Amino acid sequence: MDGSGWGPVKRTRTFEDVLAQIERRIAEDGLTAGDRLPAERRLAEQLGVSRSSVREAMRVLETLGVVSSQVGRGPDAGAVLIARPDSAMTGLLRLHLGLATLELREVIDTRHMIEQWAASRAAAGRTGAEALAAALAGMDGARTAEEFVEHDTAFHCALADASGNRLVSAVMRSLRDTMRRFSVEAVERLGDTAVLRAGHVRILAAIEAGDPGEAAAAVSDHLADAYPELFTH
């Protein structure tokens, strides 16, 4: 091999290292919205980097909606945390998936894996029933396919939340827009939401009963009712 077509490996930029350390500290220190990060000068000294590197990292966090920059001195200096990094991750995933023009099977296969596991976990801990019931009540009052799907999507995101896994929740929320589009098509195709509502009731009942196996099976059957063409087996 003559090595043609190969280029030098780029080193990680300093601000990316700074960004990684800031996000790690946010997670490890348990910081929440309203907490203040150290001032730019102090961060630069603590990390042993230039203030410009810290400034660039902060600019990225501000663009992602993680922090809000504050101008000031003393106790008023430093950026204020306005969201956890996992919230920003959800936005980035949503943007990426929105540009990916995912096919129906890709979305449903992903939901099938995630929601079966999430329902099983929720049932094992008997968690999330209140949010699921609220979404189900919203479906009962829906007058159009779009209204029904709005609450249907809330139900499935609440199911992911009930698993207690923030990454699972972020993935489900990033799929929200794609889920909504395919779900409206499914409701309009079925022409009746009774079977879908029954599936939601079964999932909720299994979680309230603390039956992980039934909860997972209920999710699988529910998706099969909504998308029979993908579950012909």
Specify the CATH number for the domain of residue 113.
1.20.120.530
Query: Do 166 and 223 reside in the same domain of the chain?
Result: yes
DSSP character string of 122-138: HHHHT--HHHHHHHHHH
User: Per-residue pLDDT averaged across 191-198, rounded?
Assistant: 92
DSSP 3-state of 157: helix
DSSP code of 67? Answer: E
Query: Do 66 and 151 reside in the same domain of the chain?
Result: no
Is 219 domain-assigned? yes
Q: Which amino acid is at 23?
A: E
**Following CA atoms 140, 144, 145, 146 in sequence, which dihedral angle do they give, to the nearest 10 degrees?**
-100
Of the three residues 28, 63, 83, the one that is the final residue of a domain is 83
Residues 215, 140: Cα–Cα separation, whole Å: 21
Total length of the chain: 233
Whether 179 has a pLDDT exceeding 80, the answer reads: yes
pLDDT: which is higher, 202 or 16: 202
Q: State the pLDDT at residue 46.
A: 85
For the chain, the domain total comes to: 2
Is 221 domain-assigned? yes
Dig out the tokens for 211 from the structure: 């039956």
Contact indicator for 54, 48 with CB cutoff of 8 Å: no
Whether 203 has a pLDDT exceeding 90, the answer reads: yes
Query: Do 66 and 138 reside in the same domain of the chain?
Result: no
Q: Residue 137: which pLDDT band, with cuts at 50, 70 and 90?
A: very high
Of the three residues 83, 118, 138, the one that is the final residue of a domain is 83
Q: Which domain holds residue 150?
A: 87-230
Of the three residues 40, 60, 83, the one that is the final residue of a domain is 83
Query: Do 102 and 146 reside in the same domain of the chain?
Result: yes
Q: How far is residue 183 from each of residues 55, 65, 231, 233, measured CA to CA in Å?
A: 43, 29, 16, 21
Percentage of residues in the chain with pLDDT exceeding 70? 82
What's the pTM value of the predicted model, to 2 decimals? 0.65
User: Per-residue pLDDT averaged across 90-102, rounded?
Assistant: 61
DSSP 3-state of 71: coil
Q: Given CA atoms 153, 159, 162, 165 in this order, what sign does their dihedral have?
A: negative
Q: State the pLDDT at residue 157.
A: 93
Is 52 domain-assigned? yes
